[in-house]
Amino acid sequence: MIYLDNAASTQLHDEVLTSMMPYLKEQYGNPSSIHRYGRLARKAIDKARKQIAELINAEPSEIFFTSGGTESNNTALRGIVLQKPGSSIVTSSIEHDAILEPCKKLEEIGFSVEYLPVDKYGLIDILELKNKISENTSLVSVMFGNNEVGTIQPIQEIASVCHEKNIFFHTDAVQAVGKIPLDVKKLGIDLLSISSHKINGPKGIGALFVKKGIEIDPVILGGGQEHGMRSGTENVANIVGFGKACEIAKSNLEENFSVITKLREHLVSKVLNDIPHSRLNGHPGHRLPGNAHFTFFGVNGEDLIIKLDENGIAASTGSACSVHTQKASHVLQAMGFSHEEITGSLRLTIGVYNTQHEIEQTVDVLKNVVKELRSVSPFKEKYSFN
């Protein structure tokens, strides 16, 4: 199998698994306990917090563990806006559902939400952001890199607009952390969501960065762990693995960035060159290194994924959510895509374990399956496929 769905989840790094094993076996103490078992678990958590902080240039005290990107996003939104009943949130129309769904819920309970439109590349407009911010805005939340089309937003500019107006800025950086250089201090980020399983760590663990001095209301109450920010006995093994994944990502960042970028550029140019009526979606330059999102005209993306799977290639149409909700991608709709452009979309996301050989094989298979599907396509005449 060739796995090209690294935006959905990634393979656990061997060293990550090794680092976790002691905490799944003999080191089972509760980190809140005073005895040796407890102290060892606490020490392991402290180390992981430091590893995560270092990846984004934060202080360890600014890192709070959560169950993943989804919980981090929910906590950031609720944690800030619930302090100001009736206030308004500014977000983008291409956020992950882990932002859009909590926003919808907040609208139902009396908050207002402004959705920033995007251009055909998936970029927001800074002027629109300035227009949409009002006296009543309590939080701006704009994702760092889009999980479907890979477009990277002008984060530093967004942060500076927010700061001029004294508004907190949160970013869902799940797809960007560990993939591109990211410095929360330099960029001026107030809150940031991370997920472990998108960077070769275990699932079910993530973190929320909250800049020192910002108070947020906890969403989960109980024993007061994580300085009261997120109660519940810590998932020690997952935290340790997450920390290790961050350490590895940091030490390999430049190398991975350049290798993965080259693989993607090769994939994109081969596909566009070898497959007629194909197009790259998302921003050509401002994009995540591993993301290649295409439209193949006259083809149904879901049929394409099934054919690719039969040929040993794991791909995606772009959003895992479409599987549950059976609706067209809100991201592509916001980018102004026609029904046909959305239907023919395919996302291939490259990770640290992919090779040049796999990319070559993928292009060969893709050429054949696109041709095969087009030969039975109702658009057969339109694109004269033969």
- Name the site residues for ligand PLP (rule: CB under 6 A): 68-70, 96, 98, 143, 147, 172, 174-175, 195, 197-198, 206
211: which 2 tokens? 């800049």
What does the alpha-carbon distance between residue 167 and residue 336 come to, in Å, rounded to a whole number?
29
Looking at beta carbons, which residue is closest to ligand PLP? 69
Nearer to ligand PLP, 197 or 347 (CB): 197
Whole-number minimum distance, CB 162 to ligand PLP, in Å? 19
Orientation angle between helical segments 253-274 and 356-375, nearest 10 degrees: 30
What does the alpha-carbon distance between residue 232 and residue 224 come to, in Å, rounded to a whole number?
7
Contacts with 290 (C-beta within 8 Å, 6 or more apart), sequence order: 6, 7, 150, 179, 260, 263, 264, 349, 350, 351
- Taken in order 54, 56, 57, 61, the sign of the CA dihedral is negative
Whole-number minimum distance, CB 101 to ligand PLP, in Å? 11
Whole-number minimum distance, CB 210 to ligand PLP, in Å? 17
Nearer to ligand PLP, 10 or 51 (CB): 10
What does the alpha-carbon distance between residue 145 and residue 94 come to, in Å, rounded to a whole number?
10
Q: Is 155 helix (H, G, I), strand (E, B) or coil?
A: helix
In the set 103, 162, 246, 321, the catalytic residue is 321
Query: Are 161 and 129 spatial neighbours (Cβ–Cβ below 8 Å)?
Result: yes
Whole-number minimum distance, CB 224 to ligand PLP, in Å? 24
Nearer to ligand PLP, 79 or 206 (CB): 206
Whole-number minimum distance, CB 71 to ligand PLP, in Å? 7
Nearer to ligand PLP, 179 or 197 (CB): 197
In this structure, the dihedral spanned by the alpha carbons of residues 303, 304, 307 and 308, taken in order and rounded to 10 degrees, is -150
What does the alpha-carbon distance between residue 199 and residue 61 come to, in Å, rounded to a whole number?
22
Catalytic residue at 321?
yes
For 23, 97, 99, the CA distances from 172, given in Å and listed in that order, are 29, 11, 8
What does the alpha-carbon distance between residue 306 and residue 313 come to, in Å, rounded to a whole number?
9
Nearer to ligand PLP, 69 or 344 (CB): 69
Eight-state DSSP code of residue 67: S
Nearer to ligand PLP, 70 or 238 (CB): 70
Amino acid, res. 217: D
Residue whose token pair is 């308004």 = 88
Whole-number minimum distance, CB 330 to ligand PLP, in Å? 13
H-only helix segments in 311-379: 321-325, 330-334, 339-343, 356-375
Whole-number minimum distance, CB 85 to ligand PLP, in Å? 26
Nearer to ligand PLP, 98 or 237 (CB): 98
Whole-number minimum distance, CB 172 to ligand PLP, in Å? 5
Nearer to ligand PLP, 69 or 178 (CB): 69
Closest C-alpha among 231, 226, 193, 242 to residue 70: 193
In this structure, the dihedral spanned by the alpha carbons of residues 156, 162, 166 and 171, taken in order and rounded to 10 degrees, is -80
Annotated catalytic residues are 321
